[in-house]
């Protein structure tokens, strides 16, 4: 048993090192120059150029403007996804209505199609609405998604007791009150994961903002950072520093959400 435990800990430690190394390398390269990045053997320790690279990023792009744009879009999309996906997932899980089975099959089928196939139709629709170049074109199409509905539906089916809903109905609760006061508190761990998944996805989205945004003042972080790549030469140390600045909020979010996620699971285990 001790040998198996030792092997398990060694395997977990090795996996942890492999997972952490890209972030460590990102941090190291952001403190170096482009010449250092190309040097061999590679320089594995921190250098003195972090603040120079950050200053270069701030001089080259409107980083804080793009940061606020991305924060607004990602936050709005996340809140809307949490509401609409949880509402739809709860309905699919705990209520019967005509066409439920076929609607869910169609929902699952949309998950199989590559997102790139919808780019042209989505752009045509946004142009017809006059939303090209606006934040509406980023937020409204992303206000619900098939994965989130599927995820909440699967979680609610197992976690929300039908007896609890029946008791709520006896007490006079309507549909929305059952959803808001009974289901949502139970769905908190699933919502925590969906919030992190959605926020990170929107924060890192590059292709759709690149297509739909036309005003530099409304560029998101990924679009703004892509402009650091020169036509003939690129200061990769500065690009990596900008990437580090964009990743730090996601790391903070992940640490917060993961702590909340674990605490919600533990609370649910104690209650059960």
Residue 42: DSSP 8-state? P
Q: Is the torsion defined by CA of 222, 228, 233, 239 positive or negative? A: negative
Q: pLDDT digit string (tens) for 180-206?
A: 999 999 898 889 889 988 999 999 999
* Tokens, residue 149: 């509905």
Q: Which residues of 230-268 are buried (b: 16+ CB within 10 A; e: fewer)?
A: eeeeebbbbbbbbbbbbbebeeebeeebeebbeebeeee
Q: pLDDT digit string (tens) for 230-271?
A: 666 678 888 888 888 898 888 888 777 776 666 555 544 444
Over residues 167-174, the mean pLDDT reads 87
Predicted local confidence at residue 232, as pLDDT: 64
Stated pTM of the model: 0.86
Residue 182: DSSP 8-state? I
Q: pLDDT digit string (tens) for 92-102?
A: 999 988 988 99
Alpha helices (runs of H) in the chain, residue ranges in sequence order: 2-30, 34-38, 50-60, 63-94, 100-112, 119-129, 136-139, 146-159, 162-170, 175-177, 184-186, 188-204, 207-212, 221-226, 236-271
Place of tokens 């991305």: 70
- Dist CA 208 CA 137 (whole Å): 9
Place of tokens 């209650």: 271
- Dist CA 203 CA 191 (whole Å): 18
Q: pLDDT digit string (tens) for 4-44?
A: 777 888 888 888 888 888 888 888 888 888 888 888 887 78
Predicted local confidence at residue 260, as pLDDT: 64
């Amino acid at each position: 048993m001790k040998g198996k435990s030792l092997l398990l800990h060694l395997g977990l430690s090795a996996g942890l090192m492999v997972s952490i190394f890209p972030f460590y390398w990102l941090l190291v390269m952001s403190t170096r120059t482009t010449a250092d990045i190309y040097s061999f053997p590679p320089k594995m320790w921190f250098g003195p150029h972090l603040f120079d690279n950050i200053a270069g990023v701030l001089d080259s792009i409107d980083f804080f403007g793009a940061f606020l744009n991305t924060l607004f879009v990602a936050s709005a999309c996340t809140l809307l996804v949490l509401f609409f996906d949880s509402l739809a997932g709860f309905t699919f899980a705990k209520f019967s209505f005509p066409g439920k089975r076929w609607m869910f099959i169609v929902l699952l089928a949309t998950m199989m199609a590559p997102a790139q196939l919808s780019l042209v139709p989505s752009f045509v629709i946004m142009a017809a609405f006059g939303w090209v170049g606006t934040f509406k074109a980023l937020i409204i199409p992303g206000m619900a998604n098939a994965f989130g509905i599927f995820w909440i539906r699967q979680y609610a089916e197992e976690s929300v007791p039908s007896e609890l809903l029946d008791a709520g109905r006896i007490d006079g609760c309507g549909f929305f009150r059952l959803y808001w006061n009974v289901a949502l508190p139970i769905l908190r761990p699933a919502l925590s994961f969906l919030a992190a998944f959605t926020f990170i996805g929107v924060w890192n989205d590059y292709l759709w903002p690149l297509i739909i945004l036309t005003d530099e003042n409304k560029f998101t972080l990924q679009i703004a950072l892509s402009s650091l790549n020169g036509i003939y030469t690129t200061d990769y140390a500065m690009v990596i520093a900008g990437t580090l600045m964009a990743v730090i909020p996601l790391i903070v979010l992940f640490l917060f959400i993961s702590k909340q996620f674990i605490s919600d699971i533990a609370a649910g285990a104690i209650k059960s």
